[in-house]
Amino acid sequence: MALSPAELDDLHYAQELLESQGLAAKISTMVGAPLEVGLNKLPQSWHGAIQGATRKSLEKALAVAVATLGGETGMPPTNRRHAIAAGISGAAGGIFGLPALALELPVSTTIMLRSIAEIARSQGEDLRLPDARLQCVQVLALGGRTDADDRGEAGYFAARAALSKAVSDAAAHLARYGLSQQGAPALVRLISQVAARFSVVVTEKAAAQAVPVVGALGGAAINTVFIRHFQSMATGHFIIRRLERLHGQDEVRRLYEKKYNNTV
């Protein structure tokens, strides 16, 4: 069955969200200066700290996804409330700078994950299922490309393809064992692959907070942009998944990439 005009509008809206400018461009617009200024201020030693904070945040996000996400489908998301909460947590990063990242990032990531879950439910996802819960975690990987991506392919589907096996293996593991074996290879592999992409945008966020003029208000604003970015990714992703449940993955991807190739 062909997509209706309303569904095509939804598909094109999802594509606009998923292929829009990255977080670095959004933050640069807000700060009023290229993000390279902040990137140059990051000490080399901090890259390891960012990787560690990113991984810790994802491990917590996975635990939250498995243990607490759920509820009825179809309820509208409360994006603004979560954005305000993320902004408050980001104020600490603005005041204390990079040393606060290890404490602030797990908090803001958990807030983002709960917002992503609400968006998923609003698009008909059943968060009682392990795959649906892991799709929420996967959204954290949709905001940043890696060098291994095919630049000629739609960025959203490139990221999904790169993560598909890790997500399905982790979902199968969780369905059978839950989190009783947190160091299982399937879960470690998923966290590692999501971290490779999530760390790209975390580094951009940290770079913005490294600019001395940012301060508490700037830190809150940066975190608000941060969560809004992933709310957009989640909205686009779960619209696509809703359409795929109705019309099949192949047809939705064909129409998505047809539109994508006509606009790049």
pLDDT tens-digit map of 132-189: 999 999 999 987 655 555 554 558 998 999 999 999 999 999 988 887 766 789 999 9
What is the predicted pLDDT for the residue at 43? 72
Both tokens of 14, joined, read 């999802």
CB of 86 closer than 8 Å to CB of 108: yes
For residues 99-125, one letter each, b for 16 or more C-beta atoms within 10 angstroms of the residue's C-beta and e for the rest, the string is ebbeebbbbbbbbbbbbbbbbbbbbeb
Distance set, CA 140 to CA 58, 202, 213, 253 (Å): 9, 10, 28, 21
What is the predicted pLDDT for the residue at 4? 96
What is the predicted pLDDT for the residue at 105? 84
What is the predicted pLDDT for the residue at 160? 92
The residue with greater pLDDT, 76 or 13, is: 13
What percentage of the chain exceeds 90 in pLDDT? 36
What is the predicted pLDDT for the residue at 14? 96
What is d(CA 215, CA 159) in angstroms, rounded to the nearest whole number?
Answer: 33
pTM of the complete model? 0.84
15-61 per-position pLDDT tens digit:
999 988 787 777 777 666 666 666 666 777 777 788 888 998 898 88
Question: Binning pLDDT at 50, 70 and 90, where does residue 245 land?
Answer: very high
